[in-house]
Each structure stands twice: as structure tokens, then as C-alpha cells.
Amino acid sequence: MSDFPTTIQGHPAGEGPGWNDSAELHKTADGGGVFNVFKAIRRDTVANLIRYVMHLPETEQGNYSVQKDGDRLLEIGDIRRLYRRTDFPHGVTG
């Protein structure tokens, strides 16, 4: 289930975070901008990219963010919070 728009008044839309929605992994200091899509390190599902970041050494995790399709940016605090959710799919998805 896609949850576009991804936020309504600053809160995620839909019933869940859209674990299987498409997203991109970015370095947090890549500058964003019009060509941001060309700066993506990898493209996968939201769950797989969260899992990827959380398996990095803790000192490196803050260097990455997940850009969910629809312009929802998940920074390290969001990533950690979502990973700790009881409904997070800890097995490989997609």
C-alpha cells in the first residue's frame, strides 16, 4: 500500500509507515536540491534501507538519511525509531 501523500500536518499518512514503499539512501550532507535523485547511494524499500543503516557501525549511522518517495525524509532519529517498532519487518523484504 502506498501512502501518498506521505505526511498530513507533519504526521505520517496511512495506517503504517509503508515498509515496502520505494526510497533512496543518501549521505546527510549531499546538499539535496534539484538533482538530489542523482546523488542517491542506493534505491530499495523503506524497510531494507532502514535495516541497512541500522547495520552500519553506530558512529556512521548519522551520516545517512532515507528519502522516501513523496519527499518524506527520514533522518537518523526517525530511522532508529522506526527500526525499534514492533511491526518493523526485521527479515529481508522486497
Mean pLDDT of the chain: 80
- Record the cell numbers describing residue 13, joined without a space: 499518512
The pLDDT of residue 69 is 84
The pLDDT of residue 72 is 86
Reported as a single tens digit per residue, the pLDDT across 37-83 is: 457 899 999 999 999 999 999 999 999 999 998 778 899 999 999 99
CA-wise closest residue to 71 among 26, 16, 94: 26
Which helix (DSSP H) or strand (DSSP E) does residue 39 occupy?
none
- Record the cell numbers describing residue 56, joined without a space: 552500519
pTM recorded for the entire structure: 0.73
CA angle centred on 27, ends 23 and 29, rounded to 5°:
130
